[in-house]
Amino acid sequence: MSLVIAIFLASHLMCMQLAAMGPLMCIWADVCAARSKLPLAVAARRRLAGACLWSFVLGIGLGFVLAGCHTMFGDRDYLRGVSAVYGRTWWGVWELGFYFGCMFAYWWIGRRDRPLRFWGRFGHGLLAVMAATNLLYHFPPLMAMISRYSRAAEAIPELSREQFRELLFSPLLVAKTAHFAFASLAVASIWLLVVLWGRPAEVSKSTNALDRTPWFAVVAIVGQLLTGIWLVTLLPPGQQRQMMGGNAVGTAALVGGIVMSITLLNQLSNLAFGDAGRRSVAIAASMLVVTIVLMSCVIVFR
């Protein structure tokens, strides 16, 4: 059952990661469109904006499925973590609605074929920025707090607003949020690469604007590795022991995830230096999915 939960968790994370950083990659696609004057970049931005909406809805649905699995199997640790931030989750519902409203407006405005003027482009991009920052600011810290308090030895009272804000900027939560942000950048940039290389004939006519897209994924993987090391150093000793050999499955998944991340970094570096093609992009995307599944196993089995 733990493996099934790990797969659901990986799917949930990938959906929310695309929804979180996808809006900012939409802005990059707009920059590519302005520089290259290619319809491909505009089409890629439209598809990415639509994918952000669908992945957001699917991610929320998978989140409810995960919560249902924990509740159905009487996972008291998980329920303890939720009870600690229960009051904040209701505010989270409004924040999710804000994200959907901003991204839906961004997608709807972007469907127009007529170019926007300066202030129209500024407002259009601002919608994407507000959606991305809102989700990145609220989703990772809330999930990190649930994970933290699910490992408490006994039930704790619901966090007050002051306690919530204090924890929000604690080193452990900042590290987890940064790690999630880099993972989101990797998912969104590789998704954009998949869309671009769906039409290789048009990509071959592109300018350097599109050619720089793989570098976002390279930066994201390097950032993930560095923040991952930082995160491990901040974990309590008991959790560090579990990851470093206390649980065989979790340790194997951690080693496999690190090896896969380094291999993915090499693959993305080849793409960034010009060895690009539909097959290379497909391999990179597959390796990213495997990496996220392995790291989800670390979370579930530790």
Structure confidence by residue, pLDDT tens digits, 12-36:
999 999 999 999 999 888 887 776 6
Domain residue limits at 16: 2-301
Q: What is the mean pLDDT of residues 189-194?
A: 89
Supply the pLDDT for residue 74.
Answer: 57
* Count of the separate structural domains present in the chain: 1
Which of 19, 44, 16, 18 minimizes the C-alpha distance to 30?
Answer: 44
Structure confidence by residue, pLDDT tens digits, 198-248:
554 455 444 455 667 889 999 999 999 999 888 888 877 777 776 676 677
Tell me how far apart the alpha carbons of residues 34 and 148 are, in angstroms, rounded to a whole number: 44
119 in the Ramachandran plot: left (φ > 0), alpha (ψ -120 to 50) or beta?
alpha
What are the backbone angles phi and psi of residue 14, rounded to the nearest 5°?
-60, -40
Instruction: Give the confidence band of 96 by pLDDT, cuts at 50, 70, 90.
Output: confident
Q: Are 1 and 299 in contact (CB under 8 A)?
A: no
Tell me how far apart the alpha carbons of residues 265 and 258 are, in angstroms, rounded to a whole number: 11
Residue partners of 203: CB distance under 8 A and separation at least 6: 40, 196, 197, 210, 276
pTM: 0.85
Tell me how far apart the alpha carbons of residues 273 and 142 are, in angstroms, rounded to a whole number: 38
Mean pLDDT score across all residues of the chain: 80
